[in-house]
Amino acid sequence: MIKRMLIMLTLLLTAAIFARLVLNYGEHQELGKLGAHYASQGPAELGAPNLVTAVVVTYRGLDTLGEVTVLFISAAGVGVMLRRRKQVPDDNEARKPSSEIVVTAAQLLLPMIFLFGIYVFVNGHLSPGGGFQGGAIIAAGSLLLLLALPQAEMRHRLISITESLSGFSYVVVGLLGVILAGGFLDNRIMSLGTYGSLFSAGAIPIIYTLIGLKVGSELSAVLDRFRQSD
Amino acid sequence: MTGLPLSLFALATGLALILIGLFGMLTRKNIIRMIIGFSLMDTGVHLVMVAIGYVTGGTAPIIDDAVPAAEAVARVVDPVPSALVLTAIVIGLGVTAVMLAFAIRLYQAKKTLSIDACSESKW
């Protein structure tokens, strides 16, 4: 009884926090100062048409490095908790093979899914998308692979090498910004190029490619852990 | 036109999702349902943040032929909340993965998904 009342009280207090926000809500008519600065100066300063990418990769690049670190730690945590155990040898034989439709579709679609993931993170500075989205698409491709071929062994060596190398290069690119440009993770270590073309916006495509590879391999490794732990 | 701005509905939906998710996390005993509650709450917070960043009549903050740089300030929505939500989605994904790993460990140890099985760690 007391527990139920406490739960209701918690919900009411949470609602009260947001009630003022909802009741007094008036849609913004113009951008705030920070948003206006990014919108007016961003394209000229960084050469990236997609302002969200400019904010994520360069203006708040340090936060993104932290975000990648959090993702790495959670992947490592999943790895520690779901450590592979040596026994359960009979488990794999008992498993039913996947249906033919899934297997055929996986063979047909996998290259396209991976290619689409790469497309999304390479074009992150031009269009909606970026490293995290592209990495998630690649991980979705790995999930399809795991569904189609449950017996398939992922190449853990390759995955962990990709992951560590891209994480390391990300920090190196950030440090190059300190030496060659204005500060840590500054994208102007290379020429900004033609505005709106694929090879433009300085280091942003490089950083997003590295993030995409890192996120894709990390999430694939997490999915593989979940599969092996049943 | 009722006069109510569209983003108010996104805001109210986000608030409703936060409350439903919190209610689910507090009342359910099955750890999978608690994780679903967390995901609902997570999504609700994202919706609230994106709704706050909306500017009346604004479009996606991508400066190209459709939105020339000269008009950018007047025509785009705030890019900062979108960038924050992008970060928040990834962190939410990481937290969910760790929680699911806990759920698997709980099931391996106690052969049940109910958190009542862990009453010895209750204060």
Q: Which two tokens stand for residue B63?
A: 């400066």
Contacts 24+ apart (CB under 8 A), A164-170: A166/A210, A166/A211, A166/A213, A166/A214, A166/A217, A167/A68, A167/A72, A167/A210, A167/A214, A169/A210, A170/A65, A170/A68, A170/A207, A170/A210, A170/A211, A170/A214
Quick one: pLDDT at residue A24?
77
Q: Which two tokens stand for residue A42?
A: 């961003």
Q: How many domains does chain A have?
A: 1
- Domains in chain B, CATH or no CATH each: 6-59+69-117 (1.10.287.3510)
Q: How confident is the model at residue A230 (pLDDT cuts 50, 70, 90)?
A: low
- Quote the DSSP letter at residue A152: P
Helices B79-110 and A204-228 pack at an angle, to 10 degrees, of: 20
Residues facing residue A50 across a β-bridge: B62
Better pLDDT: A179 or A214: A214
- Residue A72 forms part of a structural domain: yes
Quick one: pLDDT at residue B123?
59
Q: What is the pLDDT along chain B (123 residues), one digit of tens a residue?
A: 566 777 888 888 898 999 999 999 888 888 899 999 999 999 999 998 888 888 877 778 887 777 777 777 777 888 888 888 988 998 999 999 999 988 888 888 888 888 877 777 665
Nearest to A32 among B78, B83, B104 (CB): B78
Nearest to A28 among B55, B89, B100 (CB): B55
Find which of B31, B71, B87, B91 to mutate to test the A interface (most A CBs within 10 Å of its CB): B87
Mean pLDDT over all residues of chain A? 82
The Cβ of residue A153 has, within 10 Å, a number of other Cβ atoms equal to: 8
Give the chain A residue whose CA is nearest to the CA of B82: A52
Contact B86/A21, CB-based, under 8 Å? Answer: no
Question: Each residue of A84-121: pLDDT tens digit?
Answer: 665 555 555 566 777 888 888 888 999 999 999 999 88
Q: What is the count of residue pairs from A and B with beta carbons less than 8 Å apart?
A: 154
Distance CA B88, CA B83 (A): 9
Specify whether the CB–CB gap between A137 and A144 falls below 8 A. Answer: no
Specify whether the CB–CB gap between B23 and B37 falls below 8 A. Answer: yes
Nearest to B94 among A22, A55, A74 (CB): A74
Question: Each residue of A118-158: pLDDT tens digit?
Answer: 998 888 888 888 888 899 999 999 888 888 887 777 778 88
Specify whether the CB–CB gap between A34 and B84 falls below 8 A. Answer: no
- Residue A119 forms part of a structural domain: yes
Contact A60/B54, CB-based, under 8 Å? Answer: no
Nearest to B95 among A38, A74, A196 (CB): A74
What number of CA atoms fall less than 13 Å from residue B94's CA on the CB side? 20
Quick one: pLDDT at residue B74?
74
Quick one: pLDDT at residue A89?
52
Specify whether the CB–CB gap between B46 and A18 falls below 8 A. Answer: no
Domain around A162: 51-83+99-228
- Residue A38 forms part of a structural domain: no
Quick one: pLDDT at residue A79?
86
Give the chain B residue whose CA is nearest to the CA of A136: B90
Distance CA A64, CA B60 (A): 21
How many percent of chain A have pLDDT more than 70? 94
Contact status of A35 with chain B (Cβ, < 8 Å): yes
What residues of chain B lie within 8 A of the CB of A127, using their CB?
Answer: 62
10 Å CB burial of residue A26 (0-12, 13-18, 19+) is exposed
- Residue A70 forms part of a structural domain: yes
